[in-house]
Amino acid sequence: MAYVCQFCSKTYTLKNSLDQHIRRKHFKDLREIPCSSSGKITSREEFDIVNVPEHMLPPVPRGHFLPWKHPFTCMIAGPTGSGKTTFVKRFIDNIQQMMTPIPDKILWCYGEYQTIYGFIDKVEFHEGLPDLMELDTSVNNLIVIDDLMSEVNSDVTSLFTKKSHHFNISVMYIVQNLFCQSKKHRDISLNTHYIVLMKNPRDSSQVRCLSQQMFPGKTLLMEAYKDATLHPHGYLLVDLKQNTPSDLRLRTCVFPGEYQFVYVP
C-alpha cells in the first residue's frame, strides 16, 4: 500500500515515513507545545514568540503550514461574541493560503444579516438555506452556514455525510452548540473534518465531552483548549482529517503571518 502526501504527492510505503515527511517538509516553522512529565500541557506563555505583536511576525510561507484540503466539512462552535464569524472572515480573506484547491464560488447562508458581512469580499450572501440542486458541482464550492441550526434539514446533513465529497462542496457550519440534541446534528458532528472550538468562559462541558471521545482517560484536549483560549477570542483547531498525522491534530494560530502552535502528547 502506498501513502501519498496531500501537499506534494510524494509517495511512501510506510505511514510513519509520510508523517515524518509532513512534519519536516510542510511544518518547518511549527512550534510544538509538549506535555510535561506530569502530563500537563506546557503553556504558550513560556514561548517568547507568543508575546510578539502580530504585525511584527514575518509571513509564513505556504509550505510551512497545513492548508485545509477541499472538499472538507467544518464546525465552528462558540457562544455569541466569541469570534466565530471573524474566524471565517479571516479564513476567506486568506483563502489562497488556507484552502487547497481554492474555491471558485463562496456562498454564505445566514438567518439574520450582520454588519460584518459588508466587510467580507468575494462572497455571495444568501438568506436561509440554498437549494443544493441549483449549485454548479463542476466547480469548487465553499458554503458557510451561519447560525441556522433550527433550519438544518436532511440536505444539510447529507452534505456532511456524503454530498460534500461527491458534490465538490466544502462546508463551514457556524454553531453555538457543538452537541445539539438531535440525530441530524449528531450525524453532522460525527462527520466533521475540522472543529474550531472558540473560547467559552461559561461552559466547557462540550469540550470535555469531545475530549473523552478522542482521548479517553486523558486531559490532552482539555489542557490544549485551556491554553489556546487564554486570551479573548482564542480558539483550538481540532483536525480530524484521516491523513493528518496524529501529533498534528490540535493546533492554534493557524493563519498566515502567525506562528502555528501544535499540542502534542
* Averaged pLDDT score across all residues of the chain: 78
- Buried/exposed 220-253: b ≥16 CB within 10 Å, e otherwise: bbbbbbbbbbeeeebbbbbbbeeebbeebbbbbb
Q: What is the pLDDT of residues 98-114, one digit of tens each?
A: 999 999 999 999 888 88
Q: What is the pLDDT of residues 174-209, one digit of tens each?
A: 988 776 666 677 778 788 899 999 998 887 788 888
Q: Indicate if the pLDDT at residue 76 is higher than 90.
A: yes
Report how far residue 1's alpha carbon sits from residue 82's, in angstroms, rounded to the nearest whole number: 44
- The DSSP secondary-structure symbol of 41 reads B
Angle of the 205-214 helix axis to the 220-228 helix axis, nearest 10 = 140
Looking at residue 220, what is its pLDDT? Answer: 85
Angstrom distances, CA of residue 92 to CA of 17, 37, 142, 186, 238: 33, 39, 10, 27, 19
When mean pLDDT is compared across 39-43, 65-69, 142-146, 247-251, the lowest value belongs to 39-43
Backbone angles phi, psi at 214, to 5 degrees: -85, -40
Looking at residue 47, what is its pLDDT? Answer: 44
H or E, element range at 6: none
Question: Which residue is listed with cell 482517560?
Answer: 217
Cell, residue 49: 514568540
Question: Which residue is listed with cell 444539510?
Answer: 156
For residue 130, whether the previous peptide bond is cis, meaning omega lies within 30 degrees of 0, is no
Of the chain, the percentage scoring pLDDT greater than 70 comes to: 74
CATH number at residue 131: 3.40.50.300
Domain that holds residue 239: 3-264
Backbone angles phi, psi at 109, to 5 degrees: -100, 130
Q: For residue 107, give the 3-state DSSP assignment.
A: strand
Whole-model pTM: value is: 0.77
Report how far residue 221's alpha carbon sits from residue 212's, in angstroms, rounded to the nearest whole number: 9
Where is pLDDT greater, at 185 or 11?
Answer: 11
Number of domains forming the structure of the chain: 1
Q: What is the pLDDT of residues 129-161, one digit of tens each?
A: 877 778 888 899 999 998 776 666 666 777 777
Query: For residues 68 and 140, is the Cβ–Cβ distance under 8 A?
Result: no
